[in-house]
């Protein structure tokens, strides 16, 4: 019986060798791909899965992208530069992170009789409002976060550049200032939802100041920045689409 089975197998092998395989024949039915859990683990961990648990193609296709994901689709998966430290003080306390934003800081259409011509931006630092001035005594008003004590400023500049999911390179003085508080800032952070500049940035003249989004929306309506004007990501995306390079911005 064993001899018969051997002869049958040999005959099958000779027949297969006699029939040339084409590219279509070779790839008509692909064998399943099995990935070792040890090799897949780093990527599975990034997806929030446990090592050894594979994600099916169908599951990946069902995942809906975030409304703020367009930049992340194409940007390199580079990780922020990090400096190791024994103890890093948190940037915000738990109480601050749980703070609810006052509804008055949500976007609203309001009557406006302040400075600025239609199409320009006026920022009321004291009341934490940004006005996009419109025709007919109207304005679109947004809530903002402004500079901390000692970091506020006033003046007029034009928008010199617009950026989608901007990267962040904190200035040297900010790095040193935060280091003294026990907080270590990266030298560079690529754009993304964890970036302090948020989803969009409007650069003001040749200064270091910007109107930008934020990864800390609970700071809207407060004095929290180093001089930049921060907005909720939803709001800065809306403003970004309504203004162009050259728009005048006045900070009061």
Residues labelled catalytic:
212, 228
- Do residues 239 and 142 touch, judged by C-beta distance below 8 A? yes
Length of the chain: 252
CA neighbours within 13 Å on the CB side: how many for 171? 9
User: Cα–Cα distances in Å, from 61 out to 36, 55, 74, 82, 159?
Assistant: 22, 10, 18, 33, 39
Q: Can you name the residues that pair with 110 across neighbouring β-strands?
A: 139
163 with 245: CB under 8 angstroms? no
Produce one character per residue of 12-35: b if its CB has 16 or more CB atoms within 10 Å, e if not.
Answer: eeeeeeeeeeeeeeeeeeeeeeee
**How many whole angstroms separate alpha carbon 203 and alpha carbon 205?**
6
Cβ atoms of 128 and 221 within 8 Å: the answer is yes
What is the C-alpha to C-alpha distance for residues 17 and 227, in angstroms, rounded to an integer?
Answer: 75
Report the candidate in 195, 200, 202, 196 with the shortest Cα–Cα distance to residue 251.
Answer: 202
């Amino acid at each position: 019986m064993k001899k018969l089975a051997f002869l049958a197998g040999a005959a099958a092998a000779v027949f297969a060798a006699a029939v040339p395989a084409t590219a279509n024949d070779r790839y008509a039915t692909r064998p399943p791909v099995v990935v070792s859990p040890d090799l897949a683990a780093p990527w599975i961990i990034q997806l929030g899965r446990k090592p050894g648990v594979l994600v099916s193609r169908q599951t990946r296709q069902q995942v809906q992208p975030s409304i703020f994901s367009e930049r992340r689709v194409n940007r390199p998966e580079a990780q922020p530069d990090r400096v190791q430290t024994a103890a890093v003080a948190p940037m915000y306390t738990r109480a601050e992170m749980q703070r609810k934003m006052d509804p008055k800081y949500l976007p609203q259409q309001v009557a406006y009789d302040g400075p600025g011509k239609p199409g320009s931006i006026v920022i009321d630092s004291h009341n934490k409002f940004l006005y996009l001035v419109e025709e007919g005594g109207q304005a679109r008003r947004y809530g903002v976060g402004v500079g901390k004590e000692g970091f506020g400023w006033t003046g007029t500049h034009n928008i010199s550049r617009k950026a989608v999911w901007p990267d962040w390179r904190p200035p040297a003085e900010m790095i040193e200032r935060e280091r003294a508080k026990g907080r270590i800032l990266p030298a560079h952070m690529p754009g993304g939802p964890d970036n302090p500049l948020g989803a969009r940035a409007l650069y003001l003249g040749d200064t270091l100041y910007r109107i930008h989004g934020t990864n800390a929306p609970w700071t809207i309506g407060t004095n929290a920045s180093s001089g930049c004007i921060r907005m909720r990501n939803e709001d800065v995306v809306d403003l970004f689409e309504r203004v162009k390079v050259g728009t005048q911005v006045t900070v009061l």
